[in-house]
Amino acid sequence: MNKFIALIATSLFAAGIGFASDAKEQTLTGKAMCAKCELSEADKCTNALQVAAKDGKVTTYLLADNKVSKDFHSKVCMTVLDGVSVTGTVKSEGGKQIITASKIETK
């Protein structure tokens, strides 16, 4: 029985790795700002990127807390930067769009 449980656990873990590797990086461009100071959408300072679609609808992406995001935050806290490109993987979590940035570039 223990071997069976171990086999199932290993299979589920391997399946999770497969799903994680399916996430493809994409580049989003828009206005970067602080989700707390500018948008009042977070309890602590967090980067956000607002991307406008062709139909005018704006989607807000919160940047996951990692080194790339932290190193960039001083540029947007208390200000808005237009023309910022964020490259990373996007996921939906709790009704919010989250991007884990691997690279952030400004004009």
Q: Which two tokens stand for residue 69?
A: 């995001």
The answer to whether position 9 is within a domain reads no
The identity of residue 80, as a single letter, is V
CB 50 within 8 A of CB 31: yes
The answer to whether position 14 is within a domain reads no
The answer to whether position 58 is within a domain reads yes
User: Residue 74 sits in a domain of what CATH number?
Assistant: 2.40.50.140
CA–chain centroid gap for 71, Å, is 15
Q: Which two tokens stand for residue 67?
A: 């080194």
Name the region of 82 (left: φ>0; alpha: ψ -120 to 50; beta: rest): beta
* Total number of domains constituting the chain: 1
pLDDT category at 30 given cuts 50, 70, 90 is very high
pLDDT in tens, 64-89: 999 999 999 999 999 999 999 999 99
Residue 15 has a pLDDT of 46
The answer to whether position 12 is within a domain reads no
The answer to whether position 19 is within a domain reads no
CA–chain centroid gap for 58, Å, is 16
- Segments forming the whole domain that contains residue 64: 24-105
Q: What is the pTM of this model?
A: 0.78
